[in-house]
Structure 1
Amino acid sequence: MKVSLSGISVTALSVALTWLSTSSVSTALPSHNVPKAVELATDRGRVNPTNEINLTVVLKLHNQAAYDKAVEALYDPASPTFHQWFKEEDFLKYAPTQQEFEAVKLELVNAGFSVVDSDPHRFSIRVHGTIGSAESAFQTEIHSFTFRGKTFDAHIHDAKLTGSANDFVDSVAGLERHQARPQIAVAKNFRTGQPLFKEPLAKAKDTGGLLGLITGIPLSYPQTFNYSLTDPNISATYRGTVYAIDPTRIVSYTPQELQTHYGLTPLIEEGYNGKGQTIALVEGYGYADAESDANAAAQIFGLPLFTNSTFQVVYPEGKPLNPNAADLTNWTGEIALDIQSAHAIAPGAKILVVASAGQDDEDQIASLNYIIKHHLANAVSSSWENDDEMIAGPAELDAFNSVLKKGAASGISFQFSTGDNGDLGLGTPVGAVEVPSDAPWAVAVGGTSILNDPVSLGDVSAGWGNNVGYIASGGPLDPPVALGFSGGAGGGQSQYFAKPTWQEGLPGSWRQVPDVSALADPYTGFAIVFTSEGVQYFEAGVGGTSLASPIFTAIWAIADQFNGHPLGFASPAVARLKQGEITDVVPVSPLNAHNPAGSVTDSNGTTDYTTPELFSGFLYSQTQFPAAIWPFDSEDTAVLSFGTDSSLTVTRGWDNVTGYGEPNGLPFILAVSLDAAKNGKVKK
């Protein structure tokens, strides 16, 4: 579905993309660092200078090129330093001097900031002050803007730290204020707009067994549907595979079904269930009932209950001032989904929730730094995104990537959701990749749909992208109505970051997103328990790349356990995989042969409709995708497509919806576990 760009001219958009594509990735605070969206957005005026603000200032390293080379060598199997993660002395070889650090700190303190925290290797410093302090320190003004339906704050003049201390600054996060948004999606009734199933847990239990409310069989054998009105001249006939044929059961997979799909069951039975590993989840705010909700879900699905040793919440900045903050900002369901889906895949792992006191981009950077500083986990999932690259300027983009690179040097893999809105309405395969999954040192996790083949049986994966059409509402629709794109995995090509070395075989010169994928489609989703406003709910049909990121992170934690040594940043290992070591998600499926098609007869005759025509005008050039007829209530029948992700497309090999594909159990684990092979634990 093409999304309006709020009156932005094609020329203006072209200028913006040109700016991004010609921006270089600098090792110092870029001289032109105002977000390009500032030139295109509506300026709402200067932000109140007394408002409080946090900044993370990243310092310039010594011999950046040598540092980059040393970190990359950690991920080269031919290197003598392969998987020899940096120790303190390794970081200090490249660290800013104490004098440089003190000069930056003094300049910030003189501007009115107080120091909140600093990296032990002097890579960064975090300070607290006012908007006025930031404007004074960085010689700019901070204004509020609206752009493409989003509101954000940004500096309007190039940020430059006062005095010679600017020579020591690499990047800064916090001058631009973006809110990290959960990437959670929910299956909905298209007539009412309400979730397909969300009931208080107590009420849901009264209807019978909770497992009887969900089904892991989304598609049923092809059927014929006939529709007619009182007017005998109008009738319609459609035939095709049927989605969710039983309206009393919502399509949602159990943990055991997901373990089977990803080939993990034999590994888990052998004890490779994440035991001894910690999965960190970076969240906004946190909420008090997270553990009790997770244990309620564990009881439903037959998983181990959490204890004080297997579940923990840390607050790097202290607890939020408002204990209901997660509810008010839609983080509660997100947190529940992350915890419960990670536990579903790696039931033996410890889950650590790292709860930021806010949801600004800089709050999340602080949490990422906190994880690295205390080395809290080797596998980290962040099911949130900030904004696309046009809104997030060079200073923020570089700040995120610098922090994530340090994490990779420490042997930590940071996963990020790629978003739930496809190409963000740009209508081009370039897309508008979101921050920070666009960072070369982030593992960008895209999304899939998990379908069954009702004819030949077995699982079939498609790239996540749903389109919807209506064929009947109280009778046949003449003609059928295409509603358009309803959600899909984010992806595309960065217009700022150069292509990393492990993507050498991919097209273009820029960072490609995503790297890997897992289940994200809410119409083939997951069920969770969460508490909101004092009521504990059971909700089915939950997904988004919010689901994909913790699933892959949990699989990576199992790989760490199997390997016997942290595998670190996942992307280079995933890019090396060969056929059979990862499941390539491909566009052509045996399901396509049973896609819905039909005809409508009226006074003008009979009109035939092929599957693409039922989604007319919203499919770009996509013709090969599975779809199904969906009689979702007594009045309405829809057609639902899978694998139609805006202008992003699934292809053989790497693609901008699913990356290199989905993990496939033991072959995947064996292929990435090079340390285990080297030590004779397994034979390669």
Structure 2
Amino acid sequence: MLLAFAVVGGFAAAAPSAASAQGRSDIPESHPAWATPQAKVADAAPSAKLTFRVYLNLRDQAAAEAAARSVSEPGSPSYRKYLSAAQVRDKFAASDVTVGAVKTWLSGAGFAIGSVPSNRAYVEATGTADQVQQAFDIKLGKYAVKGQTLRAADKNLSVPAALAKDVLGVIGVDQATNLFKPNHTDGRDKPQDVPPGPGFRNAAPCSSYYGEKTDTTDPAYNGKQLPYAPCGYTPAQLRSAYGLDTAAKLGADGRGTTIAIIDAFASPTIYADASEYARRNDPAHPLKASQFSQKVFPVNPDLEGPDGCDAAGWYGEETLDVEAAHGLAPGADILYVGGSDCQDLSLDIALNWVVAGQKADIISNSYGDTGEDIPADEVKAFNQISLQAVLQGIGVYFSSGDNGDEVARLGTPSPDFSASAPWITAVGGTSLAVGKDGKRIFETGWETGKSTLTNGAYTPAFPGAYTSGSGGGTSRLFEQPFYQQGVVPDALSTQNQHGNKKGRVVPDISAVGDPNTGFLVGQTQTFPEGAHYDQYRIGGTSLASPVFAGVMAVADSLTHFHHGFINPVIYKVTSRTSAIADTQHVDGAVARVDYVNGVDASGGLVRSARLFDYPNLTIHTTAGYDNVTGLGTPNGLLFLFLV
């Protein structure tokens, strides 16, 4: 279904193109597997407008990968001797001649040429569906896939043979990346130009810290009276739990580091909400106007369907990401970059804009696909962007997903892309107990089992029904990268593989993600009485990624250098110390009360038990490296110094 990727300490080189008798060459695996004759529902309108990008190969892929490994691997003479964006462009990017040749071909085919980024990663073009069909020798149609109707070609795209060696892939001709979603657990569902999403509030009772209140009125669950779920941890509680308050006493609070957050669209109330949130919950650390900036790409006018890309859901994602990152690293600058839609045609533009312009030191991304069923063109283009980030010393963090092993949705275990890519750090989620003193009582893998209290009994009985949890597992796309060799157990790296092959295992490291031990967030929402600011508890690996990004920003300011791609050091060095806390299975659960209507008690209450570390998945929290939490979680000041 996808291009077979051979990864040697990095990512894949493309398979050779197949030349045709007409002097054309196929782009391997550029036809989505789901675009079958049986799934086709209509032809594409010939006059429909679409924008796409022709990605260009690096001049020396092998040398770029070797350099990326060299700057990120402890012990290398070039360790942390990063290249500038200009140096990467001059040494590895496609040449001006190559860019000119691609532009000449596209303009000759009738396309309007769009942007070419400063790193010459791609050439953007716009034209009609008919022009695309002629230029790439395909037929475009509409196909039913996963509840959506998406555009795709009927076969592999092809380009003139003279350009085949220069073209990495083409993104935007199909709509496969419409399947990308944010990884938080409380999505909002409205179109692109929308009011704030529907309101949600925590129901009482809930606890201000773990174990403050115990449910003594409901029946015991698995023989235990349960503590009530925290109402939502505050920034100070998480800073304390991860030891960042100690670093702050040494003057390290993230200052001198810029965290970029990439999502789709932009909440119109983001700065007001984040400022109010800090005022209410962390008044000693306001979000100053000088600390916050945005780069928002114009909304794509061609979004399909009345709900577009669930823009209001992305508003909630942005709010969580900004408030969590600022909460953990209150001295860091926050740069929000909003893509024009939920497709990687836009999210990759946003990511590339940050990397090509060296706009940030850390990038947090809280979105992903369901599994790894991603067009090879997208995988190759993404890996090329993330490779450049490594060369320049930019740390790129992706949430590992909120659907555990994905068996419930896919029928087979799989990690999620982009978290499974080899040149990024995949951040998994945990269930975190923070005590009255702000210290960590325990931290275990986040996989939730839910049992609802009905007529005096819990249904289903222990361990309940699986709802959500930290994504993880072994990639089918990527071989085991150099940094996981000798650390990740063979029992994990050989899953989903054939013969003696080993795969990339997700995640790499973890932070709090369980919404039942989650983060208090503040956002303008739409309530029955109108739209206004309010607060509620939220979680997901969408929380874990910006939390960990905040931890790394504090590490930057403590050690006075930017850490860049941390996977080699955390696997080869830090994991052999107590700087990473090993997460192990914990038998436990919390009692949770929810409003039926989401906002008040007028519609009644629902009472449930939420189990930690649900056991009936193919991924498990164990001693040592595991495929729920990776190496574990950052362990205070020692982690900040040793990472």
Do the aligned residues in 2 keep the contact of 1:187 with 1:522 (CA within 8 Å)?
no
Which of 429, 452, 455 is residue 474 of structure 1 equivalent to? 455
* Separation in structure 1 between the aligned mates of residue 524 and residue 336 of structure 2, nearest angstrom: 16
- CA offsets, 1:528-578, max 9 Å, x none? 121245722323220111111111111111112222222111222222222
Match of 2:612 in 1: 642
Residue identity in the other structure for 1:581? A
Do the aligned residues in 2 keep the contact of 1:354 with 1:367 (CA within 8 Å)?
yes
Do the aligned residues in 1 keep the contact of 2:449 with 2:465 (CA within 8 Å)?
yes
- CA offsets, 1:216-262, max 9 Å, x none? 22575685855xxxxxxxxx9963041317xxxx5310111101111
* Separation in structure 2 between the aligned mates of residue 483 and residue 109 of structure 1, nearest angstrom: 59
Question: Is residue 524 of structure 2 the alignment partner of residue 524 of structure 1?
Answer: no
Displacement, 1:442?
A: 1.9
Which of 610, 627, 630 is residue 659 of structure 1 equivalent to? 630
Match of 2:251 in 1: 271
Displacement, 1:292?
A: 0.5
| 3-state SS of paired residue (1:86) | coil
Match of 1:243 in 2: 227
| 3-state SS of paired residue (1:298) | helix
Displacement, 1:628?
A: 4.4
Match of 2:388 in 1: 406
Which of 143, 146, 149 is residue 144 of structure 2 equivalent to? 146
Question: Is residue 558 of structure 2 the alignment partner of residue 562 of structure 1?
Answer: yes
Give the structure-2-normalised TM-score. 0.83
Give the structure-1-normalised TM-score. 0.78
* Separation in structure 1 between the aligned mates of residue 125 and residue 112 of structure 2, nearest angstrom: 5
* Separation in structure 1 between the aligned mates of residue 286 and residue 390 of structure 2, nearest angstrom: 31
**Looking at CA atoms only, which structure, 1 or 2, has the larger radius of gyration?**
1
Question: Is residue 491 of structure 2 the alignment partner of residue 494 of structure 1?
Answer: no
Do the aligned residues in 1 keep the contact of 2:516 with 2:590 (CA within 8 Å)?
no
Unpaired runs of 5+ in structure 2? 18-26, 189-196, 495-501, 596-603
Displacement, 1:420?
A: 0.9
Do the aligned residues in 2 keep the contact of 1:218 with 1:524 (CA within 8 Å)?
no
- CA offsets, 1:277-321, max 9 Å, x none? 111111211022100100110011124222331111112x33666
Do the aligned residues in 2 keep the contact of 1:285 with 1:326 (CA within 8 Å)?
no
Identify if the C-alpha distance between structure 1 residues 215 and 129 changes in structure 2 by more than 3 Å, giving closer, same or farther.
farther
Match of 2:168 in 1: 170
Question: Is residue 80 of structure 2 the alignment partner of residue 83 of structure 1?
Answer: yes
| 3-state SS of paired residue (1:154) | strand
Do the aligned residues in 2 keep the contact of 1:219 with 1:628 (CA within 8 Å)?
no
Identify if the C-alpha distance between structure 1 residues 327 and 414 changes in structure 2 by more than 3 Å, giving closer, same or farther.
same
Give the number of equivalent residue pairs.
587
Pairing 1:387-402 to 2, within 5 Å after superposition: 387-390=370-373, 392-402=374-384
Match of 1:70 in 2: 67
* Separation in structure 1 between the aligned mates of residue 559 and residue 318 of structure 2, nearest angstrom: 28
Pairing 1:183-582 to 2, within 5 Å after superposition: 183-186=183-186, 198-199=200-201, 215-217=208-210, 225=218, 239-244=223-228, 251-303=231-283, 304-315=285-296, 317-318=297-298, 328-390=311-373, 392-425=374-407, 431-451=413-433, 459-470=441-452, 472-476=453-457, 480=461, 484-505=465-486, 506=488, 507-508=493-494, 509-532=502-525, 535-576=531-572, 577=574, 578-582=576-580
Do the aligned residues in 1 keep the contact of 2:30 with 2:169 (CA within 8 Å)?
no
Question: Is residue 150 of structure 2 the alignment partner of residue 155 of structure 1?
Answer: no
* Separation in structure 2 between the aligned mates of residue 120 and residue 370 of structure 1, nearest angstrom: 9
Do the aligned residues in 1 keep the contact of 2:252 with 2:557 (CA within 8 Å)?
yes
- CA offsets, 1:436-458, max 9 Å, x none? 2221112111111112589xx95
| 3-state SS of paired residue (1:337) | helix
Do the aligned residues in 2 keep the contact of 1:145 with 1:153 (CA within 8 Å)?
yes
Residue identity in the other structure for 1:92? D
Displacement, 1:38?
A: 3.4
How many percent identity over aligned positions? 27
Residue identity in the other structure for 1:495? R
Identify if the C-alpha distance between structure 1 residues 219 and 95 changes in structure 2 by more than 3 Å, giving closer, same or farther.
same
- CA offsets, 1:488-525, max 9 Å, x none? 11111211122211111222322211111111111111
Do the aligned residues in 1 keep the contact of 2:254 with 2:554 (CA within 8 Å)?
yes
* Separation in structure 1 between the aligned mates of residue 5 and residue 451 of structure 2, nearest angstrom: 37
Displacement, 1:631?
A: 6.5
Residue identity in the other structure for 1:489? S
Displacement, 1:125?
A: 2.2
* Separation in structure 1 between the aligned mates of residue 519 and residue 76 of structure 2, nearest angstrom: 41
Identify if the C-alpha distance between structure 1 residues 318 and 40 changes in structure 2 by more than 3 Å, giving closer, same or farther.
same
Displacement, 1:473?
A: 2.0
Identify if the C-alpha distance between structure 1 residues 445 and 460 changes in structure 2 by more than 3 Å, giving closer, same or farther.
same
Do the aligned residues in 1 keep the contact of 2:244 with 2:554 (CA within 8 Å)?
no
Question: Is residue 14 of structure 2 the alignment partner of residue 27 of structure 1?
Answer: yes
Which of 627, 649, 653 is residue 589 of structure 2 equivalent to? 627
| 3-state SS of paired residue (2:422) | coil
Residue identity in the other structure for 1:75? S
Match of 2:54 in 1: 57
Displacement, 1:649?
A: 1.1
Identify if the C-alpha distance between structure 1 residues 104 and 639 changes in structure 2 by more than 3 Å, giving closer, same or farther.
same
* Separation in structure 2 between the aligned mates of residue 76 and residue 479 of structure 1, nearest angstrom: 48
| 3-state SS of paired residue (1:82) | coil
Identify if the C-alpha distance between structure 1 residues 225 and 338 changes in structure 2 by more than 3 Å, giving closer, same or farther.
closer
- CA offsets, 1:375-417, max 9 Å, x none? 1101011111134322x11111111111111111111111111
Do the aligned residues in 2 keep the contact of 1:465 with 1:489 (CA within 8 Å)?
yes
Identify if the C-alpha distance between structure 1 residues 287 and 216 changes in structure 2 by more than 3 Å, giving closer, same or farther.
same
Displacement, 1:74?
A: 0.8
* Separation in structure 2 between the aligned mates of residue 260 and residue 41 of structure 1, nearest angstrom: 55
